[in-house]
Amino acid sequence: MIAVTVPATSANLGPGFDTLGLALNLYNRVEMDRAEPGTLEVLLEGEGAGSLTADWSNLALRAADLVFRQRGGRPPGLRVRIVSSIPLARGLGSSATAVVGGILAADGLTGGGMSAEEALNLAASLEGHADNVAPALCGGMTISWRNERGYGCLRLEPPLELGAVAAIPTVPMPTARARAVLPEKVPLADAVFNTGRAALLVAAVTTGRLDLLREATMDRLHQPYREKLLPGFREAVTAALEVGALGAFLSGAGSSVLALIRKNDGAKVGEAMEGAFRQKGVGCATRILCPTPQGATVSIS
């Protein structure tokens, strides 16, 4: 049996739209094994188990099928178990973990040997961009890009003292809906604003200048358009900053809001964000997390 454990991710990190991502210590697991010919057994547990499909349309199996087709076809029989701890459609990379888990499990089941670059490109081809799959694969903080040869990423090591709090509203925000509200063109001043903040964010992380994160996580490219979909978003960000968060932003396409903190500040920041959402009539749960340097791991038993 092949078992793949994949960390949650937060993409964009404010200004780094479709390019920056961060791995977090919350995990999904994909287990895969051969079974009797003619058998497809899919067991779903945890978050979203009641709403996910248990056949080849499941995202993890669709990803695995990309590998199987490259290597001669699907196994005659397959047994899959998916254990999810990451909520769906909340901007914490649940789809990226399914894609990465499916690809790496299928690779292991068919002999292994896939390079990190191959896995990144295969995963990004299914996701449509690499900002979530790169940290899911590599861990840490990642910068991803695309050129004529495909996708690439660079991994950075987050400061050890950096923590995170996720405020997870009860309302989902599907990525397609969150992308639909974005304009095709943005003002030049907003593009310049984000370029500077994205560069500053990378510099702040690599130099340990956590005091710069408040400025570095500001954004004008996507959050001003998406916040109308999520009552309480702006208030949650403000509340987090007021009680000491280093920076706060929409996690991926939402609906979660991620606050970067100094470790041990998690409880007060989480309470502040949860209270802000509830004042707007939005239910919310919080998770105290931290960036993880470890990306997806594969074990064989």
41 lies in the same domain as 122: yes
pLDDT at 129: 87
Domain count, the chain: 2
Half-sphere exposure of 96 (CA within 13 A, CB side): 36
Are residue 129 and residue 30 in the same domain, yes or no? yes
Q: Cα separation of 100 and 13, whole Å?
A: 20
Pairing of strands 78-84, 40-46: parallel
Q: Residue 185: which CATH number?
A: 3.30.70.890
Residues 234 and 142 placed together within one structural domain of the fold: no
47-106 residue pLDDT tens: 988 889 999 999 999 999 999 999 999 999 999 999 999 999 899 999 999 999 999 999
Cβ burial of 115 (10 Å; 0-12, 13-18, 19+) is exposed
Is the whole-model pTM more than 0.75?
A: yes
Quick one: 138 and 213 in the same domain? no
Regarding whether 168 and 92 lie in a shared domain, the answer is: no
- The string of pLDDT tens digits covering residues 163-208 is 999 999 999 888 888 899 999 999 999 999 999 999 999 999 999 9
Domain CATH for 119: 3.30.230.10
Whether the per-residue pLDDT at 268 is higher than 90: the answer is yes
Question: Domain containing 64: what range?
Answer: 2-157+292-300
**Does one domain contain both 147 and 282?**
no
Nearest to 198 by CA among 12, 68, 6: 12
Q: Give the burial string for 134-170 (b: 16+ CB within 10 Å, else e).
A: bbbbbbbbbbbeeeeeebbbebbebbeebbbbbbbbe
Q: Nearest 10 degrees: CA dihedral of 9, 10, 12, 15? A: -140
Do both 139 and 172 map to the same domain? no
- The pLDDT value given to residue 175: 83
Identify whether residues 57 and 188 lie together within a single domain: no
Same domain, 15 and 129: yes
**For 255-264, what is the mean pLDDT?**
95
Question: Residue 282 has which token pair?
Answer: 């939005």
Average pLDDT, whole number, for the chain? 95
Q: Are residues 193 and 281 in the same domain?
A: yes
Q: Are residues 7 and 130 in the same domain?
A: yes
User: pLDDT tens digit string along 114-143?
Assistant: 999 999 999 999 988 899 999 999 999 999
What's the pLDDT score for residue 197?
A: 98
The 3-state secondary structure of the chain, one letter per residue: CEEEEEEEEEECCCCCCCCEEEEEEEEEEEEEEECCCCCEEEEEEECCCCCCCCCCCCHHHHHHHHHHHHCCCCCCCEEEEEEECCCCCCCCCHHHHHHHHHHHHHHHHCCCCCCHHHHHHHHHHHHCCCCCHHHHHHCCEEEEEEECCEEEEEEECCCCCEEEEEEEECCCCCHHHHHHCCCCCCCHHHHHHHHHHHHHHHHHHHHCCHHHHHHHCCCCCCHHHHHHHCCCHHHHHHHHHHCCCCEEEECCCCCCEEEEEECCCHHHHHHHHHHHHHHCCCCEEEEEECECCCCCEEEEC
Structure tokens at 240: 């987090």
What pLDDT shows up at residue 174? 84
Q: Tell me how long the chain is.
A: 301
